[in-house]
Amino acid sequence: MPLVKSGKTTNDDFVHIADEVAIPSEGAVLISAARFVSDAEALSLRAARTGVIWPNNRDLDDLVPYLDRVAVVALVFPSFRDGRAYTQARLLRERHGYRGELRATGQVLRDQFLFMLRAGFDAFEVKKPGDAEAFASTVKRYSVFYQPTGDGRLTALHRRMLLRHSESASQ
Amino acid sequence: MYAYDELDHAVINERVDEFRDQVKRRLSGELTEDEFKMLRLQNGVYLQLHAYMLRVAIPYGTLSSKQLRRLAHVARRYDRGYGHFTTRQNIQFNWIKLAELPDALADLAEVGIHAMQTSGNNTRNVTSDQWAGVAPGEIEDPRIWSELLRQYTTLHPEFSFLPRKFKFAITASAHDRAAIKIHDIGLRLHKNAAGETGFEVLVGGGLGRTPFIAKTIKPFVHGHDLLSYVEAILRVYNQYGRRDNIYKARIKILVHELGIDKFAQEVEDEWQQMREGALTLDDAVIEDIRSRFTYPAYEKLPHMPEELRKAAHDPHFEAWRNNSVALHKVQGYAIVTLSLKPVGGPPGDATADQMDAIADLADKYSFGEIRVGHEQNLALPHVARRDLPALWKALDKIGLATPNVNLVSDIIACPGLDYCSLANARSIPIAQELTRRFANHATADLIGRLHINISGCINACGHHHVGHIGILGVEKNGAEFYQITIGGRADENAELGTLIGPAVPYAEVADVVEDIVEAYLALRVRPDELFVDTVKRLGVEPFRERVYATR
């Protein structure tokens, strides 16, 4: 499954470690939320990078205290129809100030890329190679956005106000 | 009218390009039908019994004559020469070919019309009072806020994959013509003690399998906070709404299961954390939207012009005027409802020729503006009263002067089994038969206001629960049967109807409705006691007796 970061397909440094497998002392790993929570203090102090896969029906409160110590939060789209992780993403970025990698996993398809970017995702485990190749062009499809999110894009309402100010200034 | 600027146009055009690409990927097999289904639904495309159906949004029910002509063009060029106006200020085309859909949407986009989010599990077309901006006594034009919500809900990055569909309606009048209490979020515009504009926010209304009347979640939310408060509701719903069972996924079920107080607390907790954020609408932004709504330059005209005095001698004109013409907020003007319920016709349909003719009449008599109401009728919102006789003649010529607005033959019906793959039974032929039974205007007028609503299945697109008489098609051993409810209503006193007894077969529905109406005429205490008030006073029992005594 190709990983897209900064608009390009890249190698995934992170290795998924199943719950029953011992966590290696070296190397970047992605582990389950349950495992992370059970030993969060120790895991978050691990020397190598640690990421956590957070299910979309699990409250973020257990994760929030460790956000500055995890390298990746991977949120899950069990189906592209299930949009709960969009809310989790925005809360992590906009409310809890998470600045690390926010990865979309599961059924991640081309037509969700822009919504995901706007919600704060910056890494994408893309299901289809063709979609990964189309990433850069797909996310440029829209030039106007109606809602303010943490991605910093100006909204249409805001752009109109700027336009008004520049018009009245030039008169 | 709201004038789209280049930003609004850009979004619509970009959506057409995106959809064209999605259709291309489906036709090439790159997308599975399962993947494509969600994408096409997000752009208003259903797969019906016989063909793809395109549902086009008419936000808050306002259309320009230019837009209506373009809808006529789409009906003619891509469909079979007609369109169907729905109960949520949309128009549906029933026979569009998938490969031609992008072109039809591109044609519509040129006049600022789109099909975004007219289906799918997202925030749907924002609806409002079809008399917005012209109704006497209205607090202010609710379309300003409808437009703010239209923009806010369009392609929302967080809420485009909700547990289920999500509908908004707004009213700013004491009499609710927008049916806000049967919406996921209903907004009643009012002013607080300080004279500031805000909203009573209602939540969790909806029909379908488990009908609920919406409950008030907050009596006053300031206009500045409208979007942040709505976002708080949507966020709670997106996280906690059920996704395990499609029939329990609407917000009404979440509100019901948590209880309105607990739900309100969840929303409040969320709102308090983000209410001071970027969603706050300052006055300048609200004024900017308001400034892009233009209003006609009304003349100073008399209430009773000579033309109207003369025409009053014609009883046919008078019957129409008494029925279809309503008071306008400006003296000398009127709001004219165009009945799309001709005797024997399918409710809510208009031909391409009719649409073109209405557009011409709107240019001539209504400052180029047309409205669409949830009752599946149209309206010309700014007609000078002196023009009423001429307009009536012109409407009569094109079959749009049936004087049955709000009467027993002004039936709301879904497309039913004639078109819809979900339906259990036909709706349209039942409606057609009822319009024939009550074709006599004098009789219909004697009966007075009476809303019949017909749905062909439990999904309740015909809003049968809130019809004064509600008719629900069900399937029994392969045959079409119909459950009849009475006493429902969709206005500010919204209530769900009560079942009067066992379902009746297709062939008996019209007889049963006639029996109910006859019982009402015998039971009402005064001619002006409406059907729904008689039911309220007496309950369903006397009607049940009358209907089932001989069956």
Which ranges in B489-548 belong to alpha helices (H)? 509-523, 531-538, 541-548
B99 burial class (0-12, 13-18, 19+ CB within 10 angstroms)?
A: exposed
Q: Report the C-alpha gap between B207 and B189 in whole angstroms.
A: 23
Q: B121: nearest CA in chain A?
A: A81
Domain count, chain A: 2
Is there a single domain that holds both residue A55 and residue A130? Answer: yes
Q: Which residues, numbered 397 to 426 in chain B, qualify as contacts with chain A under a Cβ-Cβ cut-off of 8 Å?
A: none
What is the pLDDT at residue A73? 98
Query: B161 — contact with chain A (CB < 8 Å)?
Result: yes
- What does the pLDDT average to over B133-152? 97
CB contact under 8 A, A160 and B288: yes
Tell whether B283 is within 8 A of chain A (Cβ): no
Question: Do A20 and A42 fall within a single domain?
Answer: yes
pLDDT confidence of B551, banded at 50, 70, 90? confident
Q: Examine the domain organization and report whether A49 and A113 are in the same domain.
A: yes
Of B160, B162, B285, the CB nearest to A161: B285
Residues A108 and A147 in one domain: no
B414: three-class secondary structure by DSSP? coil
Which tens digits make up the pLDDT trace of B332-345? 999 999 999 999 99
Domain annotation for chain B: domains and CATH numbers: 6-109 (3.90.480.20), 142-290 (3.30.413.10), 306-397 (3.90.480.20), 412-548 (3.30.413.10)
Nearest-neighbour CA in chain A from B361: distance (Å): 34
Residue among B239, B273, B280, B291 with most chain A CBs within 10 A, to mutate: B239
The answer to whether the Cβ–Cβ distance between B288 and A157 falls below 8 Å is yes
Same domain membership, residue A153 and residue A134: no
CA–CA gap between residue B147 and residue A47 (Å, rounded) = 52
Q: What is the pLDDT of residues B407-429, one digit of tens each?
A: 999 999 999 999 898 999 999 99
Residue with the two structure tokens 């279809």: B324
A96 alpha carbon, distance to own chain's centre: 13
- Binned at pLDDT 50, 70 and 90, residue A171 comes out as low
CA-based nearest distance A147→chain B, Å: 6
Print burial letters for B465-475: b (CB count within 10 Å at least 16), e (below 16).
bbbbbbbbbbe
Nearest-CA distance B12 → chain A (Å): 10
Q: Do residue B14 and residue A148 have CB atoms under 8 angstroms apart? A: no
The pLDDT tens digits for B46-61 are 998 888 999 999 999 9
Q: A83–B161: do the CB atoms touch at under 8 Å?
A: yes
pLDDT per position as a tens digit, B316-365: 999 999 999 999 999 999 999 999 999 999 999 999 999 999 999 999 99
In this complex, is the C-beta atom of B228 within 8 Å of any C-beta atom belonging to chain A?
no
Look at residue B50 in the predicted model and tell me its pLDDT: 84
Residues A112 and A169 in one domain: no
pLDDT value for A56: 98
* B152 shares contact with chain A (CB less than 8 Å): yes
- Reference B412, options B86, B181, B90; nearest CA is B86
Range of the domain at A165: 143-171
Are residues A120 and A59 part of one domain? yes
> Which residue in B462, B481, B474, B471 sits closest to B516, CA to CA?
B471
B411, B344 in Cβ contact below 8 A?
no
Q: What's the mean pLDDT when you consider all of chain B?
A: 96
- A44 and A117, same structural domain? yes
What gap in Å lies between CA B353 and CA B358, rounded to an integer? 9
E-state strands within B242-363: 325-327, 333-338, 349-351
Predicted TM-score (pTM) of this structure = 0.96
CB contact under 8 A, B235 and A160: no
CATH of the domain at A118: 3.20.20.70
- Which residues in chain A touch residue B162, judged by CB atoms under 8 angstroms apart? 83
Instruction: Give kind and range of the element (H or E) at residue B72.
Output: helix B65-78
Please state, in angstroms and rounded to a whole number, the distance separating the CA atoms of residues B291 and B509.
50
Residues A136, A169 share a domain: no
Name B212's Cβ contacts closer than 8 Å, sequence gap at least 6. B204, B205, B206, B252, B255, B256
Domain match, A29 and A49 both: yes
Q: Quickly state the pLDDT bin for A164 (edges 50, 70, 90).
A: confident
> A144 vs B14: CB contact, 8 Å cut-off?
yes
Measure Cα distances from B145 to A11, B184, B292, B353, B447 in Å. 47, 17, 12, 33, 37
Q: What is the pLDDT of residue A75?
A: 98
B203 with B255: CB under 8 angstroms?
Answer: yes
Looking at the fold, whether A165 and A94 belong to one and the same domain comes out as no
A159 and A113 in one domain?
no
